[in-house]
């Protein structure tokens, strides 16, 4: 992006030619031809380690929710604006509504009985519900209940709209790869129905009824799909998986990532890989008192606190965390988590991009205490 080419290079490369009139004239001639020398910018362009312009940042749920409610009062939802979503803009990213260079993160708000119209786009999207219930998202015609702790998918080019079946508003977390798609010019968008195509409110979506049976694959679904055919990952299953990991750890069995740290990755049952091609989703649970080792990872992550209380130490700064708080860890910035109580966090990241293109590296600095 290099929006500020005059900023000091993070890891400056020396060895520049002396500034002469002849050189200036050469640079001007280049400029006319849309050419720029590498030697003046290599230090900025190719730093020794990832040097994100994105910065670590924390958004407090207590700040977000009033703004979402106020938007509910002032801004109608409907065709054109499409969604009443408040995007979190990383302070380092020059005013763009990007939480990382690759990811979009927003709080979406739907008032009582409202409908967000249907559309589809190349961008992959998910919703995570930190509180509330009563909204159904209709994905390719399949109504999917949204309840607390659930992860709901709307993979690229699936039509989707939402409607609130209750007299209460509901807010949730939206995650998409909008910045990545925008930056790399890979996106298509199409309007669908102005209402959702099915106002039914079943407890389980058809995708779940076909696919949410552990280790069982329908013979009608033998072709692998780039995104998961499972539209909803229910809190009940996530909670049970994490509970079992911690119990197994107590029994002396290998089950957790590291001592006191249980975690699952949400996966595409047709492949065992990530739920969508660009976005990884995980859920982490720390036992009270656990402190994770400090990690550097290539690629950016966003966490939302789901339950409990603790802290994140990001780039050396400790942030106290409450339920609903959202924080971002840019690429290669060291981070660790500390659990004051049992501590549950949802996480999403651009790891599939990093891994599929062979850029992954991890450095673990310390060990769990």
Q: Which span (128-136, 203-211, 313-321, 338-346) binds its own copies, by CB under 8 A?
A: 203-211
**Applying CB under 8 A, which of residues 7, 30, 288, 320 lies at the interface with its own copies?**
30
**Applying CB under 8 A, which of residues 7, 112, 113, 213 lies at the interface with its own copies?**
213
Residues 127-146 touching its own copies, rule: CB under 8 A, are: none
Is 147 an interacting residue with respect to its own copies (CB under 8 A)? Answer: no
Q: Whole-angstrom Cα distance, residue 190 to residue 122?
A: 9
Is 201 an interacting residue with respect to its own copies (CB under 8 A)? Answer: no
* Per-residue x/- track, 229-268, its own copies (CB under 8 A): -x--x---xx-xx--xx-xx----xxxxx-----xxxxxx
Q: Whole-angstrom Cα distance, residue 334 to residue 314?
A: 6
**Applying CB under 8 A, which of residues 189, 288, 320, 367 lies at the interface with its own copies?**
189
What sign does the dihedral 150-134-229-128 (CA atoms) show? negative
Is 199 an interacting residue with respect to its own copies (CB under 8 A)? Answer: no
Distance in Å, CB of 336 to its own copies, minimum: 16
Q: How far is CA 68 from CA 36, 72, 141, 173, 357, in A?
A: 45, 6, 27, 11, 37
Is 112 an interacting residue with respect to its own copies (CB under 8 A)? Answer: no
Q: How far is CA 138 from CA 175, 192, 196, in A?
A: 17, 12, 7
Residue 219 DSSP class: G
User: For 128, what's the count of Cα atoms within 13 Å in the CB-facing half-sphere?
Assistant: 24
Is 82 an interacting residue with respect to its own copies (CB under 8 A)? Answer: yes
Distance in Å, CB of 132 to its own copies, minimum: 20
Q: How far is CA 227 from CA 4, 74, 165, 234, 317, in A?
A: 37, 36, 28, 17, 36
Residues touching its own copies: how many (CB under 8 A)? 144
Distance in Å, CB of 195 to its own copies, minimum: 15
Q: Which span (164-172, 310-318, 338-346, 358-366) binds its own copies, by CB under 8 A?
A: 358-366
Distance in Å, CB of 94 to its own copies, minimum: 8
Is 67 an interacting residue with respect to its own copies (CB under 8 A)? Answer: yes
Candidates 190, 171, 50; CA nearest to 119 is 190
Neighbours of 239 (CB within 10 A): 16
């Amino acid at each position: 992006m290099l929006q500020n080419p005059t900023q000091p290079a993070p890891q400056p490369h020396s060895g520049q030619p002396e500034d002469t009139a002849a050189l200036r004239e050469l640079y001007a001639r280049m400029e006319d031809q849309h050419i720029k020398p590498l030697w003046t910018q290599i230090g900025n362009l190719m730093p020794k380690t990832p040097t994100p312009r994105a910065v670590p940042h924390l958004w407090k749920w207590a700040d977000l929710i009033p703004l979402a409610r106020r938007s509910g009062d002032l801004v109608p939802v409907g065709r054109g604006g499409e969604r009443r979503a408040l995007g979190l803009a990383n302070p380092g990213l020059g005013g763009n509504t990007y939480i990382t260079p690759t990811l979009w993160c927003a709080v979406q708000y739907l008032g009582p009985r409202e409908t967000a119209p249907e559309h589809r786009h190349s961008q992959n999207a998910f919703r995570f519900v930190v509180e509330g219930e009563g909204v159904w998202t209709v994905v390719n015609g399949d109504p999917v209940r949204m309840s607390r702790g659930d992860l709901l998918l709307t993979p690229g080019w699936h039509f989707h709209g939402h409607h609130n079946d209750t007299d209460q508003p509901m807010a949730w977390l939206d995650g998409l790869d909008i910045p990545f798609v925008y930056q790399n010019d890979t996106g298509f968008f199409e309007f669908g129905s102005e209402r959702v195509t099915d106002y039914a409110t079943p407890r389980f979506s058809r995708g779940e009824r076909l696919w949410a049976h552990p280790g069982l694959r329908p013979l009608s679904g033998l072709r692998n799909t780039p995104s998961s055919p499972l539209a909803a990952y229910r809190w009940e299953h996530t909670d049970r998986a994490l509970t079992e990991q911690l119990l197994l750890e107590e029994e002396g069995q290998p089950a957790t990532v590291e001592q006191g740290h249980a975690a699952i990755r949400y996966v595409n049952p047709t492949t065992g890989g990530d739920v969508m091609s660009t976005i990884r989703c995980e859920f982490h649970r720390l036992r009270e008192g656990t402190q994770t080792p400090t990690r550097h990872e290539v690629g950016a992550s966003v966490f939302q606190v789901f339950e409990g209380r603790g802290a994140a130490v990001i780039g050396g700064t400790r942030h106290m965390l409450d339920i609903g708080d959202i924080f971002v860890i840019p690429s290669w910035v060291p981070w660790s988590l500390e659990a004051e109580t049992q501590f549950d966090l949802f996480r999403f990241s651009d790891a599939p991009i990093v891994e599929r293109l062979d850029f992954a590296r991890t450095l673990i600095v310390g060990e769990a205490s």
